[in-house]
Amino acid sequence: MGQTLRGADIVAQSLRRLGCQRLFTLSGNHIMSIFDAALDVGLDLVHVRHEAAAVHMADAHGRLTGEAGIALVTGGPGHANAVGALFTALGAESPMVLLSGHAATWEIGRGGFQELAQADMAAPVTKASWTSSTTETLGHDIGEAIRIATSGRPGPVHLSLPSDLLDARAEDGAIVWPERVAQPRAALADAAADEILAAIAAAARPVIIAGPQMSTVKGRTLLARLEAATRAPAVIMESPRGIADATLGAFPDLIKRADLIVLLGKALDFTTKWAAGPSFDPDVRLIAIDPEEALVERARTEKGDRLLAGCVADTQGAAALLVARSARHVPRSLQWHGQARTALDSRPAAWGGIVSRTAGRLHPAEVFRTLRPFVERDPDTVLICDGGEFAQWGQSMLPVRRRLVNGVTGSIGSALSFALAARMIEPKAPVFAVLGDGTIGFHIAEFETAVRRGLPFVAVLGNDARWNAESEIQRRDYGSNRMHGCELLPARYDQVVAALGGHGERVEREVELRGAIERALSSGKPACINVMIESIAAPSIRLTL
């Protein structure tokens, strides 16, 4: 009889074979065998305080590295806690895998401990979701999950691991191990690239809109090269505010004049307003380049003859080919590009002088004017913006190459988990998390994780003692006399963080903020600067072209 391996050891060894070094996890009955197996292969267990935090950390890992982040949670309620966070990763097109423990196969349908239809629950918020069926194929399943997560349009994948399969043993020769092989990606044909470049050159006012997967440093660099090569303004759309995202400057004015929109891995959806209605030229034409055939077909169904071309192709590969073949085409005039760049880069001059009208409170613009020099000190700074109105000011006023936002799903609460994962990836440059007092309530206990793991970062918390995004909806839609149910306490979140072992300060005046940021950075601890702010709506920028 040959050597046998426990299923849990197959899982751990498979992850190491595929390059995984750490698991973002929370312990539980169904997965303790994997915790045991992790010791023998040197997997680092980043043990968090809520299963959703593990998913958010794996999500951040995927976005920042391009490699699949791995979250590991127990079955039943642990899995249920984790599933909601997958929606954020799905909207952000983040490569990650959720591994969940699961009731034993012989228990299914008999009322097993924490038995739940886990694969069915995760299916709507993942690219693929299934349950392993044999011990011998556990490694293959791990490899397939990572392959799916990182191929095509990246996104989350779920795999449930029944506990009896993890405890069972398999003959070494019968184990199907995963393989690290480069995944083929759909390529844009040269002829299609030339057709697209010709259409851009012929358009009077073309605009390129890229999807969230281009928001990495590599993606942003490639998109800038594409803009320079085509002289067509290019933006990344990754906010639920869509064309009204203040990060994009006066984009509503710009897009209204566009006569050609190139969707580069960007779905035609609510964020683009389906390129219809008063926000667009009624005759605007489109080109769709996407790794998913279904999204190309959606654009064709929506736009009919106004879709000049629809191509199924890898987003970054297509962009690189367009850059490479652009020299074959006559360059466009710089006039439209100059006007467009002015609109995208402009910020109201008034923002430079806005001050609070409320004693003991700062205007968000004051906060981010003060924070900006700290963000700009290091080009590798990681900025995380999570939440509603306050974070929108941060997104629009703080230009960085490495940024994580809560994404097109509009979910909140991920900031602290993102910051921990970012610090594990970026050992030196500052990591700033910008969030509101509503947002911090979701996962404030992760400050304990950060202290325990020695992961310093600075959370800049805008505290207006309310759910301000929803309050603004009430004000706008129903009247200021019908604002209710969204109040919070002006709590001392800074003291909570200090009690957990971090650094905390409360700031009530603009003159106090610079010193507080300096002390937070020099503390070497996870830090929370609790800034008392005015309740101000998110910014909007308009510029008549």
Q: What is the 3-state secondary structure (H, E, C) of 75-115?
A: CCHHHHHHHHHHHHHHHHCCCEEEEEEECCHHHCCCCCCCC
**In the structure encoding, which two tokens stand for residue 109, read together?**
């349908």
Task: Please tell me the predicted confidence (pLDDT) of residue 543.
Answer: 61
Nearest to 408 by CA among 217, 209, 151: 209
pLDDT at 544: 54
State residue 453 phi and psi, 5-degree precision.
Answer: -90, -5
Rg, Å, the chain Cα set = 24
CB 494 within 8 A of CB 528: yes
CA angle 221, 404, 245 (to 5 degrees): 85
- CATH number belonging to domain 190-345: 3.40.50.1220
d(CA 299, CA 358): 48
Q: How many helices (H) and strands (E) does the chain have?
A: 21, 19
- Strands (DSSP E) contained in 339-457 are 382-386, 402-405, 431-436
Domain boundary assignment for the chain: 4-174, 190-345, 349-532
Residues 6+ apart with CB under 8 A from 386: 405, 406, 412, 413, 414, 415, 418, 433, 434, 435, 439
What's the pLDDT at 334?
Answer: 87
For the domain made up of 4-174, give the CATH fold.
Answer: Rossmann fold (3.40.50)
**CB count, 10 Å around CB of 343?**
23
Residues in Cβ contact with 250 at an 8 Å cutoff, skipping those fewer than 6 apart: 343, 344, 346, 541, 542, 543, 545
Ranges of the chain whose pLDDT falls below 70: 1-2, 542-545
Q: Which two tokens stand for residue 518?
A: 């300096």
What pLDDT was estimated at residue 112?
A: 85
Query: What mean pLDDT value characterizes the chain?
Result: 94
DSSP SS3 for 347: coil
CA dist., res. 72 & res. 26, Å (int): 7
Task: Identify the three-state secondary structure at position 286.
Answer: strand
pTM: 0.95
476: left (phi > 0), else alpha (psi -120 to 50), else beta?
A: alpha
CATH annotation of 349-532:
3.40.50.970
Please name every residue paired with 208 in a beta bridge, in sequence order, or none if there are none.
234, 262
Residue 479, sorted as left (phi over 0), alpha (psi -120 to 50) or beta, turns out to be: left
**Domain pair 190-345 / 349-532, same fold:** yes
Is the C-alpha dihedral spanning 226, 232, 233, 235 positive or negative? Answer: negative
* Distance in angstroms (rounded) separating the CA atoms of residues 192 and 198: 10
Burial class of residue 260, CB neighbours in 10 A (0-12, 13-18, 19+):
buried
The token pair that represents 534 in the structure block: 């005015």
pLDDT at 545 (0 to 100): 53
**Interatomic CA distance for residues 444 and 441, integer angstroms:** 6
